[in-house]
Amino acid sequence: MSDKINSDPTKVVKSKSSFFQENEKSIIFIVGGILLLIVLYFGYQKLYLAPRAEKAANQMYKAEEYATIDSLQAKAINGDGSFPGFEEISKEYSNTKSANIANAYLGGLYLREGKPQEAIDALQKYSDTGSEILDPLVHGLIGDAYSEQQDYKKAAEFYKKAADKSKNSYTTPLFLKKLGLVYEQLQEYKKAEEAFTRIQTDYPGSQESSTVDALIARNKAKL
């Protein structure tokens, strides 16, 4: 008897209808809330982020000019009173492409000034853009900063990320060589040999390959 009652399709229909009737206001409220969030998101993108991104891009060119001149690098970081430096752009225009690139510039400039921790702090705010050159360079710069601090284990971690991030004949052999050198500092000679051998095998035409034979031999002798 109970099986017949449970299998009665009218009971199922009634149950569903009852649910929607009882919860109609809640469902409408939830759907309306989702639609409102979508509207707010696109409004935020178009009316707030887009103008800020354009303003940041228009103001950053001067800092980029200063960054290419050794004697004016402080102005590139701090600004010149008329145009903002990379520090201000990074802070004031966060969530824009210009602020992201400013973090990469800041990391390199801090590293030149002998401030590895400041470099690490800036570079770790950078988000990958998909660039085959810039993305691995930023990871590699973090590796350089850790090398300056003689934290060779962390340096190796970021050099490996940089070498594997993008397979190209410019950044990959550069960071494979640095990876091998820090492995030497860690006395991990087998890993050092493997890094140098990858340059010899995969990037024979690179600048780094011209010195790699001696590095391979040096590490083989220590195994």
| Three-class DSSP category at 72 | helix
Q: Write down the pLDDT at residue 26.
A: 53
Does this model's pTM top 0.85? no
Q: Write down the pLDDT at residue 148.
A: 94
Look over the chain and give the mean of its residue pLDDT values, rounded to a whole number: 82
Calculate what percentage of the chain has a pLDDT beyond 70. Answer: 76
CB atoms within 10 A of CB 96: 21
Which is more confidently placed, 210 or 30?
Answer: 210
Among 69-73, 181-185, 194-198, 199-203, the minimum mean pLDDT is found in 69-73
pLDDT in tens, 97-106: 888 888 999 9
11 Cβ neighbours under 8 A, 6+ residues apart: 5
Which is more confidently placed, 57 or 66?
Answer: 66
Instruction: Provide the pLDDT confidence category of residue 70 given band limits of 50, 70 and 90.
Output: confident
Q: To which H or E segment does residue 68 belong? A: none
Q: Write down the pLDDT at residue 4.
A: 45
Report the half-sphere exposure of 169 (CA within 13 A, side-chain side).
9
pLDDT in tens, 7-18: 554 444 455 555
219 Cβ neighbours under 8 A, 6+ residues apart: 180, 184, 189, 190, 192, 193, 196
Nearest to 157 by CA among 176, 141, 179, 173: 179
Mean pLDDT in residue range 113-128: 95
pLDDT in tens, 71-81: 898 999 999 99
Mean pLDDT in residue range 181-210: 96
pLDDT in tens, 150-191: 999 999 999 999 999 988 998 999 999 999 999 999 999 999
Instruction: Provide the pLDDT confidence category of residue 218 given band limits of 50, 70 and 90.
Output: very high
Q: Write down the pLDDT at residue 136.
A: 92
